[in-house]
Amino acid sequence: MKEIAVLDRIEGNHAVLLVGNSEKEKTIEKSLLPPGSREGTWFNVELSGDEILKITIDQKEAEEVQKRVRAKMAMLRRKK
């Protein structure tokens, strides 16, 4: 099954992902993250049950989130 996930936080050698629309927490070894991953990075994940089989950075989702954040910040600045 394919889902989207976001890297919520890193705790020591572990990474906590929020997976799917329900944002189910999934903890994995930090070493399994793609290079360049940091808190807030969006991923495409392929799951088998609770096991992550494949994880790749989702550039499209990351760009969409950045656009939404920039738009909200611009709106807040205009309200001052």
Give the model confidence (pLDDT) of 18-66 as tens digits: 999 899 999 999 999 999 899 999 999 999 988 889 999 998 887 887 8
CATH code for the part of the protein at 2-78: 2.40.50
The span from the CA of 72 to the CA of 38, in Å, is: 22
Global pTM value: 0.77
Tally the C-alpha atoms within 13 A of residue 35's C-alpha that lie toward its C-beta: 0
The domain spans of the chain are 2-78
The number of residues in the chain equals 80
